[in-house]
Amino acid sequence: MASSEVTQVSTNKMFGGYQKVYSHESKETKCTMKFGIYLPPQVEEGKKLPVLYWLSGLTCTEQNFITKAGAQKAAAEHGIIIVAPDTSPRGCNIEGETDSYDFGAGAGFYVDATEEKWKTNYRMYSYVTKELPEVISRNFPALPDKQSIFGHSMGGHGALICALKNPGQYKSVSAFAPISNPVSCPWGLKAFTGYLGDNKENWEEYDACCLVKKYNGPPLSLLVDQGKADNFYTDGQLLPENLVKACAESKMPIISRLQEGYDHSYYFIATFIEDHIKHHANALNA
């Protein structure tokens, strides 16, 4: 099932398939990276399957999604491989990389850093959009031309920018409580200044609200769920209304749902994960 390029860390049978974790040496991040991969039961039948990539949020690893989201049952039903990488490089011994929860380890923000201290290792954008899909295609029964992407919070930001910056690469995109407009929120200001420097034009290359205005590719329907009881929503970190406005101005289709009573946690994600997987299954199996 997998070549010597990747090393199996764990395997657990779920819903007729297998939830596995692998590690590999990344050329982009210059360190050992881990990713979770759910291989549904259709893999045992010799079928090649579409791939759905999940990007996690601040402080997360590959473990949060695979243990808390409850995505495997729907993935098995729809015959979709789900890949969940780590959020950032680990153990690079960069001064300050573990000083705060919202910058450095656990907070790669899915950009390719340009600032001197970070640019060698913090290349999560290229890792997610280039290297990881190549690793998956070489080592697993995946269809490289049928992939989609979704994520949560910082990972929702990552999913949106990956889809918007690469027209045609992903069949669909969705997000839970994404950091929709990072150039305008405290998390984004801190991360982008640290990773990308002071030139705000460079920041806009990693902001969904900016990217949607110049998107020029195949139709890309967006699905975004936001909990109304999410403290990061009420504190102005997420700004989903800015994304809705940018999509309206650009005539980009978006389904944006405010969910009463839900917060920023995986309880929220688990509640609506089946909706999101159906959203992607409709595109991937079309």
Mean pLDDT score, 252-269: 98
Write b or e for each residue in 44-76: b if 16 or more Cβ atoms lie within 10 A of its Cβ, otherwise e. eeeeebbbbbbbbbbebbbebbbeebebbbbbb
The tokens for 106 are 């656990």
CB 238 within 8 Å of CB 185: yes
Using DSSP bridges, classify how beta strands 49-55 and 81-85 pair: parallel, antiparallel or unpaired: parallel
As a whole number, mean pLDDT of residues 53-76 equals: 98
Does residue 47 carry a pLDDT above 80?
Answer: yes
pLDDT the model gives residue 285:
87
Q: 241 pLDDT band (50/70/90 cuts)?
A: very high
Residue 4 pLDDT class (50, 70, 90 cuts): low
Gap between the Cα atoms of 214 and 211, Å rounded: 6
Query: What pLDDT does residue 53 have?
Result: 98
What's the mean pLDDT when you consider all of the chain?
Answer: 96
- Contacts of residue 190, defined as CB under 8 A and 6 or more positions apart, other chains included, come to 102, 103
Contacts of 99 (CB under 8 A, 6+ apart): none
- Catalytic status, residue 153: yes
What pLDDT, on a 0 to 100 scale, did the predictor assign at position 1? 46
Both structure tokens of 2: 């997998």
Q: Scan for tokens 């007729």, then name that residue.
A: 16
Q: What are phi and psi of 76, to 5 degrees?
A: -65, -40
88, 148, 153, 172: the active-site residue:
153
- DSSP label at 42? G
Pure H helices in 132-265: 132-139, 154-165, 186-196, 200-203, 208-211, 231-234, 240-250
Output the furthest CA–CA distance in the chain (Å, rounded).
Answer: 52
What residues are paired with 223 via a beta bridge? 174, 255
Choose, from 264, 276, 279, 280, the residue flagged as catalytic: 264
Is 73:95 a contact under the CB 8 Å cutoff?
Answer: no
**Residue 264 annotated as catalytic:** yes
The token duo for 122 is 């913090």
Catalytic-residue membership of 100: no
**136-172: per-residue pLDDT in tens?**
999 999 998 999 999 999 999 999 999 999 999 999 9
Q: Which of 86, 112, 225, 230 is catalytic?
A: 230
- 69-85 pLDDT, tens per residue? 999 999 999 999 999 99
Quick check: 109 and 157 in contact, CB under 8 A? yes
